[in-house]
Amino acid sequence: MTEHIPYVVVGAGAMGLATTWQLARRGHQVLALESFERGHTRGASHGATRNFNNAYAEADYLDLLTLARTEWDELARATGEPLLRLHGLVTHGDDGVVAGVHAALAGRGERAEVLSAGEAGGRWSGMRFSGDVLFTPDAGVVRASAALEALESAARGRGADVRFGHRVVALDETANGLALTVEAGGKRYDLVAETAVVTAGAWAPGILPPSFPLPRLTVTEESPAHFAPIAAEATWPSFNHLLTRDRYPANVYGMPTPGEGVKVGFHLVGPVVDPDARTFRPVPAQAAQLRDYVAEWFPGLDPDSAVPISCTYTSTDSQDFVLDRRGRVVVGAGFSGHGFKFTPAVGAVLADLATDDDARAAARFRLP
């Protein structure tokens, strides 16, 4: 017998669970379908921490971040689970970018302070700095794995149905709604939905109808690593290091992860991969560069202690997100390695698009 569901969310990673929660808390009947098991490591949502990085100069991202902060706090109240650790963020390496971000944040009344490299080194002795250093105290990390649990719990608490191990193998728009074919446990069943929200990450192009005007999405396998602090009592901010490309391949980001060390990674340098055929191993040359970077810039970390992490980025050419709707299909895609901090705000935008014909995301996030 075919199930009829008003709202189906395809892909129950961070963005899909956030959308499910936002729809359910508004009183809608919603079903979320996830191909893999709960807590799987094949996509971009697993792991203990993500940067809650507010070092943006673009108003659209700062608007989204303001909403995200409100929604993270609301999710924490709903579940009793604190999800943000706001130990601050430092950004350095490009004085022009530092000045621009500082001006944008200060113009919105956000707390932001520019330090000299010497002042920053005095505060965080485990790091070295170059040029002006922007310190934003209301940044830090999202407890990523705890956030996924909280989103699922909050969505289920509002009546949502979340099914893991249920893979959508067909999605077609008909005169009567969206027809979905789902595979689970070696069997298939059919659904009809009024609206579908596709938040399937690297797998979105294979799920969306061929006519859907999705921009190019490039999937890369990225390999940050956790490094062990030399002094257990050292304090660490989250960080962005903006680098020229003479010695290292890309900018660097990172954050402390209690129990695992300090996470350090190059941004968007990994090889292009098929998400179903990854090695889950770092590129040796890039791992060596990361080790050398840590040895040069982090005197408080053991550069030979790297424990690599494998994750995927699914990126648009601009590295901007896609948040839009065509017909009965809403899509959230291309979060490009910097989306997790925005998760509950992205869920709110996608829920608006699914339920309100007049809703629009900011222009930079719309389909052409």
Quick check: 59 pLDDT over 90?
A: yes
Q: Tokens standing for 86?
A: 């706001």
Domain presence at residue 73: no
pLDDT digits (tens, 9 = 90+) for 159-208: 999 999 999 999 999 988 999 999 999 999 999 999 999 999 999 999 99
Domain presence at residue 54: no
pLDDT at 328: 97
Quick check: 1 pLDDT over 90?
A: no
Is 264 found in the same domain as 156? no
Is 150 found in the same domain as 282? no
Quick check: 102 pLDDT over 80?
A: yes
- Average pLDDT over every residue of 253-260: 96
| Count of domains observed in the chain | 2
Which backbone phi and psi does 274 adopt, to 5 degrees?
-80, 125
The whole domain housing 154 covers 3-47+146-216+317-365
Last residue of a domain, one of 274, 299, 315: 315
- Bridge partners, residue 193, by sequence: 5, 178
CATH of the domain at 242: 3.30.9.10
Is 211 found in the same domain as 130? no
Cβ-contact 33, 182 below 8 angstroms: yes
pLDDT at 350: 98
- Bridge partners, residue 254, by sequence: 239, 264
Q: Tokens standing for 199?
A: 């938040």
Instruction: Calculate what percentage of the chain has a pLDDT beyond 90.
Output: 95
Closest to 72 in 3D by CA, of 287, 327, 341: 341
What is the band of 362 on the pLDDT scale with cuts at 50, 70, 90?
very high
Between CA 79 and CA 315 the distance in angstroms is 31
Is 25 found in the same domain as 150? yes
Cβ-contact 98, 134 below 8 angstroms: yes
Cα radius of gyration (the chain): 21
Cβ-contact 32, 161 below 8 angstroms: yes
What is the band of 336 on the pLDDT scale with cuts at 50, 70, 90?
confident
Is 265 found in the same domain as 311? yes
pLDDT at 245: 82
Between CA 368 and CA 302 the distance in angstroms is 47
CATH of the domain at 195: 3.50.50.60
Is 150 found in the same domain as 171? yes
pLDDT digits (tens, 9 = 90+) for 225-249: 999 999 988 999 999 999 988 899 9
The structure's pTM equals 0.97
Between CA 177 and CA 187 the distance in angstroms is 23
pLDDT at 246: 86
Is 247 found in the same domain as 191? no
Domain presence at residue 70: no
Is 133 found in the same domain as 109? yes
